[in-house]
Amino acid sequence: MMKQNGISVENYTPILIVGTGISGLTAAYYLSKNNIKYTIVTKKNAPKQSNSFLSAANTRVPSENEVNNIINLTIDKCGADRSVIEALYRNSNIIINFFKELGIPYEKTSFGIMPECLIKSHGGKKLINCLLQHIEQPMCNKILIHLEKYDQGIIAIFYDTQSDQFIRIFTNYLVLATGGYAGQFCFNDNSPGSTGETLILAKKIGARLKGMSTVMCHPWSIYNGRQILLGGVVSLSQGKIIDEDGVQLLKDKYICDAIARDDYHEMIDEILKFQLECIKQKKDMYLDMSHADENVLNEKFKKYGFSPKVVKNKRIKITPTMHYSSGGIEINANAEAINLNRVFATGEAQFNGDLGIGRIPGQAFASGIVFGKLIADKIANEGVFNTQYQTSFKDPPETMHLYSKENNDFPIEEFQKKLSTLMMDLIASNPPVVSLSFLRKKIQESQNIILSRARGSGKRYEDILTLSFGYFVAMEIIEDLEAKSGLLSIQK
């Protein structure tokens, strides 16, 4: 125990895994199998709070005949890095062995496998529950808020939301398994921890971020973004999207017809632009189900597990929702961060792709499992552990300045809403470079306001941290859009 610059606890661990989704738990599982000591932490109060737990765990496993096609498709259509994708799909036998070792029965799906479950969407729960029985007990309530490099590894500072203390952990190897940043948007179907702060921290110590403007936005969701509506339900509306007074909002007949045929995927960008305009004009959107057969409607809703209460007066209130983010830390074929020794990035925290929807379905679970094993193998083969570390400490980081026992009247929610609208605008409307530099200035101003005014402890401090990192994420999205538009003008 020590007290220095507000840090009250100090620890050493040879390997520090941050994140308890499929990617963090799999890395832990294979390290445990190799009898290598590690510490695994999450910011939430239970290890099951992750996107992985919410997921169906439909995991892509290409057959031998398909593997070249899948690799090329992922590179050409999603913009993934060749060496990483080769490492992923040429090692996908790891996935089958993983399910077998854990004793999890699986069923074949159109592109891979998923755990056999009574309720199909519970595959993630089954996998996570099982993995938790095979690994070290995760430490909960610890938010990673700062990283520093030292000769033998990394220093990580956490805020413990339960004990209200700062903790410094020295480690030789850091595994960032912290998921994506779709949770920074106000409409999203993610677990609340998906806010992307560790990508920003990794960049500050030398990692490269790529593709940050590639976020998959799904156009149809209910419960304010929390649950995605499937195409078969949406098409019952015949593409009629109306406002509260029943006035038709979507006027493009071509798009309406495509929605009616459940064949609108090429038009997602146009649909999102239309939805963003409605949000800006504060118009609620409803799928008009008035011409759908009552029995068919009920049947569909039961089948997909939606509450019939969602349909009121034959209308369903909808919003677009952010489903996953594809930008992240650039890695090599061993999942090591480019430019950053002894740091690994796995799962949604990795850069997955920057074209189209950024990654193909089922890739998230496949990469979490395959890279979890490759990381553990690499550390088992080459691990250099050295418990020597410096105890001197630089100035407390910016994130610690936001902490104070005394709260103030800073309007966090108002800033959160504005930031989320701005980010949605960036993703859906791809603004020109001139407006990007204007938005950049606005973001900097808001960030400065937060640094000078926002203070708090506990949950309030957590919200302020998330907001403050949200501005950095928005800045990264702008940087990526600028880079892309630079590329476009060169290509022209």
Ligand X SMILES: Cc1cc2nc3c(=O)[nH]c(=O)nc-3n(C[C@H](O)[C@H](O)[C@H](O)COP(=O)(O)OP(=O)(O)OC[C@H]3O[C@@H](n4cnc5c(N)ncnc54)[C@H](O)[C@@H]3O)c2cc1C
Interface ranges with ligand X (CB under 6 A)? 18-24, 41-44, 49-52, 54-59, 142-144, 177-179, 189-190, 193-194, 197-198, 324, 347-349, 362, 364-365, 368
Please, which residues have CB within 8 angstroms of residue 292's CB and are 6 or more apart in sequence?
Answer: 236, 237, 314
Burial, 384: exposed, middle or buried (Cβ in 10 Å; 0-12, 13-18, 19+)? exposed
Q: How far is the CB of 126 from ligand X (least distance, A)?
A: 12
Closest CA relative to residue 480, chosen from 409, 395, 423: 423
Judged by beta carbon, residue 239 or residue 358, the one nearer ligand X is: 358
Q: Residue 431 and residue 408: Cα distance in Å, rounded?
A: 35
Q: How far is the CB of 47 from ligand X (least distance, A)?
A: 7
Q: How far is the CB of 199 from ligand X (least distance, A)?
A: 9
Q: How far is the CB of 215 from ligand X (least distance, A)?
A: 12
- Tokens matching residue 271: 């649909």
Judged by beta carbon, residue 45 or residue 290, the one nearer ligand X is: 45
Judged by beta carbon, residue 55 or residue 446, the one nearer ligand X is: 55
Q: How far is the CB of 16 from ligand X (least distance, A)?
A: 10
Q: How far is the CB of 227 from ligand X (least distance, A)?
A: 8
C-alpha angle 275-442-274 in degrees, rounded to nearest 5: 10
Judged by beta carbon, residue 242 or residue 366, the one nearer ligand X is: 366
Please compute, for residue 119, the number of CA atoms within 13 A of its CA located in the half-sphere on the CB side.
11
**Residue 467 phi, psi (nearest 5):** -65, -45
**H/E element holding 317?**
strand 315-325
Closest CA relative to residue 349, chosen from 37, 124, 101, 51: 51
Cβ proximity of 428 and 217 under 8 Å: yes
Judged by beta carbon, residue 190 or residue 446, the one nearer ligand X is: 190
> What single DSSP character describes residue 136?
P
Judged by beta carbon, residue 59 or residue 213, the one nearer ligand X is: 59
Q: How far is the CB of 258 from ligand X (least distance, A)?
A: 24
Judged by beta carbon, residue 178 or residue 214, the one nearer ligand X is: 178
Q: For 207-296, where are the E strands, in sequence order?
A: 209-210, 215-222, 227-228, 241-242, 285-288
